[in-house]
Structure 1
Amino acid sequence: MTYTVTTHPSSLWPSSYGRSAHQQRQAPFLGPRLTSQSPGKDGKPGPPNWGLRRKSGWEAAVKRHNLTKRWLMKIIDEREKNLDDRAYRNIQELENYAENTQSALLYLTLEILGVKDLHADHAASHIGKAQGIVTCLRATPYHGSRRRVFLPMDICMLHGVSQEDFLRKNQDKNVRDVIYDIASQAHLHLKHARSFHKSVPVKAFPAFLQTVALEDYLKKIQRVDFDIFHPSLQQKNTLLPLSLYIQSWRNRY
């Protein structure tokens, strides 16, 4: 299931930041990419390890919890397609990856909780995309230290930013504009997910509490003017567990 977002992201952050957000985008996951490759005889990486498709573990889970096999296969298939570790061509490609992995995982979580509701599925789709985008942003400093950049190329080109700018930890305004645009899209998905709050069954809320951590990161990156390499972004928020408890107690996500 895929949902679209057409709201312009420029309205998501205070105008005082003066950021020029990307134009309207269609919002059709992102976790650590799988790089399970065994070295060949010459010491170079061999073919990918396709052990992901072993049935013993996930088939047992499907039967035990009466899960939809399709969501598990989407996660596996999407991860396999991303074994080449290339940058996303555009924001839609990143969102598609998020939908087929993070959102699919949320659909499975809802099934385990016994929730079958269209509004909950809609919220899960947006939360999964927000999670994928935020994960991509948070991992940028780490990936840069390994000479890799996975940020959407279309937004980078829009602001005249190259991968080398991120590898050198460039903090110019155009680099921050790239981060602003990407973070705005995550913020937009989070906003849309919460717009269904009154329609989503309370039983589904535990599956969506990750929104607390997503919002925390987006607020932190806003406070440092979208400097993706700012040291504060790598620090843990010791009050996050309390925020999670409060949201859970209030029956909100």
Structure 2
Amino acid sequence: MRFAMASSINIKIGLLTTKIFLHIKIPYPIFIQRPTEIKCSRALTTGQHNEQYCIDIVRKRDYEGFLCSLLFPEAVRRSALALRAFNVELAQIKDSVSQKTIGLMRLQFWKSAVEDIYRDDHPAQPISAELWRAVRKHTLTRRWMLRIISEREKDMEDKAYRNLQELEAYGENTQSSLLYLLLETLGELWYHQAHFSIYQQRVTDNAFSLFLTQHGASQEDFIRGSRDLNVRDVVYDIASQAHVHLQNARSFSKNVPHAAMPAFLQTVVLEDYLRRVRKVDFDVFHPSLQKRYPMLPLQLYVRSWKKIY
């Protein structure tokens, strides 16, 4: 959205910049401690470290999700960042291990960590500790966390999706499960209205396999960054389906309570990416798509301010 007056744009950019670069780093107050207060102080320091750990990993690995989280109400922002850090940690396992067995072991660690959290066993790992805090504060549903882990376990098999329904199920079990958890932090429990999948901006080669044979393309084409027409046709098919989900998500936007709006800001990120992909004729390897869109923070802020997505 553009404004007629440059001054108005500058004001809103300034406000958003303040939220992004200053608000999360507000210095904690310093007190003169009595000996009996040292133990509590150390616990507080650990909590601050865990929070910053989640902030850093989301800002580095999921920048768009980081921006969306900053626009959550202050009371739930820390929990939202913990959930996104959890999601990022799971998502990067497949690409960060050399053997499937190692990846499955790491996923098993997270499955055990979630079970420990719901047994009220305070964990030491930073993300787990922040999740423990979020679960205590918002009574988050264990099923959604375990469903994300289970879907990541299936993805470790590296099998091609046989049909579009399997690809959509992957999005439902990962991205929609995260959405449900974010809605719970906001106090919203109307899952029947929130039922839609958000396609990730960077889909793995495996996710493209469903469409490859239809257009005479191969996984090697994507590995080497081919910009041929048949490769762009594959991207077009997936982008078109993502657009359908986006339109479906927005079809009930008037019925979404204002309190739940922050959870749906991710649709703004998807809309922006689809627009930019369409602009370069569905060439996902175009240099412009490898850069962050500088107007995205402003777009997110305006949608958040107007309570729309």
Q: Is TM-score (shorter-chain normalized) higher than 0.5?
A: yes
Match status 1:228 vs 2:284: yes
User: Aligned residue for 1:51?
Assistant: 109
Note the C-alpha offset of 1:125: 2.8
Question: Contact 2:91/2:152 (CA < 8 Å) preserved in 1?
Answer: no
Cα deviation 1:63-82 (Å, max 9, x = unaligned): 43212221111111111222
Please, which of 218, 243, 248 is the counterpart of residue 299 of structure 2?
Answer: 243
User: Aligned residue for 2:210?
Assistant: 154
Cα distance, 1:73–1:227 mapped onto 2, change above 3 Å: same
Match status 1:73 vs 2:143: no
For these two proteins, the number of residue pairs brought into alignment is: 204
Note the C-alpha offset of 1:37: 8.3
Unaligned runs of 5+ in 2: 1-86, 120-131
Question: Contact 1:94/1:152 (CA < 8 Å) preserved in 2?
Answer: no
User: Aligned residue for 1:183?
Assistant: 239
SS in 1 for 2:254: coil
- Give, in whole Å, the separation in 1 of the partners of 2:145 and 2:276: 33
Question: Contact 1:87/1:150 (CA < 8 Å) preserved in 2?
Answer: yes
Please, which of 198, 201, 206 is the counterpart of residue 130 of structure 1?
Answer: 198
- Give, in whole Å, the separation in 2 of the partners of 1:197 and 1:90: 29
- Give, in whole Å, the separation in 1 of the partners of 2:100 and 2:93: 13
Cα distance, 1:169–1:152 mapped onto 2, change above 3 Å: closer
Amino acid at match of 1:108: L
The 5-angstrom pairing of residues 59-208 of structure 1 reads 60=132, 61-118=134-191, 121-122=192-193, 124-126=194-196, 129-132=197-200, 134-136=201-203, 149-208=205-264
- Give, in whole Å, the separation in 2 of the partners of 1:38 and 1:58: 28
**Identity score, percent:** 49
Cα distance, 1:70–1:45 mapped onto 2, change above 3 Å: closer
Unaligned runs of 5+ in 1: 1-28, 141-148
Note the C-alpha offset of 1:38: 7.5
Match status 1:209 vs 2:265: yes
**TM-score when scaled to structure 1?**
0.72
- Give, in whole Å, the separation in 2 of the partners of 1:172 and 1:230: 12
Task: Please tell me the root mean square deviation across aligned C-alpha atoms, in Å.
Answer: 2.6
Segment drifting more, 97-106 vs 150-159: 150-159
Structure whose residues are more often helix by fraction:
2
Cα deviation 1:5-37 (Å, max 9, x = unaligned): xxxxxxxxxxxxxxxxxxxxxxxx998353398
Cα deviation 1:52-109 (Å, max 9, x = unaligned): 1223346534343212221111111111222233443333222111111110111111
**TM-score when scaled to structure 2?**
0.60
In our comparison, the structure showing a higher alpha carbon Rg is: 2
Question: Contact 1:71/1:104 (CA < 8 Å) preserved in 2?
Answer: yes
Question: Contact 2:148/2:177 (CA < 8 Å) preserved in 1?
Answer: yes
Cα deviation 1:124-155 (Å, max 9, x = unaligned): 332xx2233x331xxx5xxxxxxxx2233231
